[in-house]
């Protein structure tokens, strides 16, 4: 795309109002489908660091087969990215923006929100926590609702696919941690 055409392209903005709501998962906004999936992925500080690094550098997402195009090598507030799933002409990329990162010493990861043009509207977080007993826990928390005709048409299938992908992320992250 030429620079002129790129400059004329509409700027994408966040497509929902409840920005940052995944930071406190007990208070997810009404009117959305809620998702929470948690899995133990390792044990101890070294596994925690490996898991947090895999999440914040997009390695976990890429290891599932997703393609990630990002404005940065690491998650940080304001970083935009596109996550694409599928194969060849049957792949579809969705635009997101990193909203927040945890500020505690024993938590790593990020939360991102949907940008205009995404088939869903909402936010999702990918957190790794080092629990007091040494367990490294990975948690996906999300709230979303359809933003395109085809996701509305898909009805209850979309939340099931989101849960399946969250489970896949946990499995893949556990494997990445085990590989070191």
Q: Which one, of 171, 170, 113, lies nearest residue 140 by Cα? A: 170
Please state the rounded mean pLDDT for residues 38-59. Answer: 97
pLDDT, the chain, mean = 90
Q: Which one, of 14, 90, 96, lies nearest residue 58 by Cα? A: 96
Residue-range domain boundaries for the chain? 12-21+33-179
- The architecture CATH gives domain 12-21+33-179: 2-Layer Sandwich (3.30)
User: pLDDT tens digits, residue range 92-128?
Assistant: 788 999 999 998 899 999 999 999 989 999 999 999 9
Full-model pTM: 0.89
């Amino acid at each position: 795309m030429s620079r002129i055409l790129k400059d004329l392209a509409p700027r994408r903005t966040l497509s929902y109002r409840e920005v940052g709501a995944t930071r406190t998962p007990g208070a997810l906004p009404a009117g959305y489908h809620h998702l929470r999936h948690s899995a133990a992925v390792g044990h101890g500080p070294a596994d925690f660091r490996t898991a947090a690094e895999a999440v914040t550098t997009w390695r976990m997402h890429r290891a599932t087969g997703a393609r990630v195009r990002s404005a940065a090598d690491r998650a940080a507030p304001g970083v935009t990215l596109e996550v694409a799933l599928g194969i060849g002409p049957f792949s579809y990329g969705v635009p997101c923006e990193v909203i927040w990162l945890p500020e505690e010493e024993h938590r790593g990861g990020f939360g991102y929100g949907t940008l205009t043009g995404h088939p869903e509207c909402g936010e999702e977080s990918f957190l790794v926590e080092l629990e007091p007993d040494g367990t490294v826990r990975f948690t996906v928390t999300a709230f979303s609702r359809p933003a395109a005709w085809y996701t509305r048409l898909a009805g209850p299938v979309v939340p099931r696919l989101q849960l399946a992908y969250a489970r896949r992320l946990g499995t893949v992250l556990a494997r990445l941690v085990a590989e070191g």
